[in-house]
Amino acid sequence: MLTGLLRAGVGGRQLIQGWQRGVSLSAARRCEATDGEEEEGRAKKEIDPAKDRTRVIPVEMSLKYLQSEAYQTAYGEDPVWKKYRRNFKGAFPPKKTRKMCIRAGVISTGNPCPICRDEYLVLDPINTNLLKQFISPHNNSILPTSITNLCRKKHRELEVSVHKARDIGLLTYDVPFRRYHYPDYYPKDTPTSTTTTTTTSSSSSSTLTPGS
């Protein structure tokens, strides 16, 4: 019961201190705690449906959303982060963005980041059209939060999705150049020939010899 109250955020520091010093709650809270289920039902806050993010949207729905008219009206041809304006005091934004916009399935901020504000944008390896918006067109790197203004949790999710998509091959990139040392695969002193019958002992034999 007490943990339930803690989770709902009622009481806060005072409740924790009360717990640590032994159960010495104030009289008012003791009445709340002893009243039972119906009190718990009423004490549970009603979440504003616009800020409710408990519903999990499947990736396929997100894929359809990106092709829909609603998306077109909302974002047009721009990437989803283009028209987002970050709020901060002073001329220069803080180096880090906020840690997360969604806490316990509820948006806990007034100006959520571009991904958190739209529940139909799901970061997944399959959703390449969304992931590509966060990748630089000049050198294929993931754009920093100073440009995209994502919260740190979503930026981490984005990085994970991009790495997974690159592993599967849905997003391509230029692989570092592999230089071969030909004598490792065919020693220089072995005679080459154009006849079909020669079977030279090639360097890629199964038994390894020390040194040479």
Partner 1 sequence: MMEAVKAAASAGLRLAWTAVTSPAARVAAVPRLARACTTIPSKYDERDPAPLFFDPNVQEILKRVTGRNYDKIFRRRYDEKRLSPPKYEFLTDEELGELREEMEKKAETLLQMPPVVKQREPILDVLSRDPALVGFDTCRYIFTDITYGVTDRKRFIVVRDADGTLRQASWEERDRMNQIYNPQPGRKIRSHRVFEEENLKNVLDREEYEFVLDLACAQFEPDDPEYQRVTGRVYETLEARRCYQILHSTRHYGPLCFYLTWNKKIDNLLTTLIQQEMLSEGADIVRLYYLIHPDSKSAGHHVDLSLPLETIKAYMEQDSLQRAKLQLAIQAYQEIVQQRHQCQEDVKAAHGL
The binding site for partner 1 (CB under 8 A) comprises 138-141, 167-170, 172-182, 184-186, 190-196, 198-200, 202-208, 210-211
Nearer to partner 1 among residue 1 and residue 173 (C-beta): 173
If you count DSSP H runs as helices and E runs as strands, how many of each does the chain have, helices first?
10, 2
One-letter-per-residue 3-state SS of 147-211: HHCCCHHHHHHHHHHHHHHHHHCCCCCCCCCCCCCHHHHCCCCCCCCCCCCCCCCCCCCCCCCCC
Q: Give the residue with the Cβ less far from partner 1, 101 or 161.
A: 161
Q: Quote the CA–CA distance of 29 and 32 in Å, as a whole number.
A: 5
CB of 88 or CB of 180, closer to partner 1: 180
The one-letter amino acid code at 144 reads P
Shortest reach from residue 159's CB to partner 1, in Å:
12
Question: Of the two residues 26 and 141, which places its CB atom closer to partner 1 in the complex?
Answer: 141
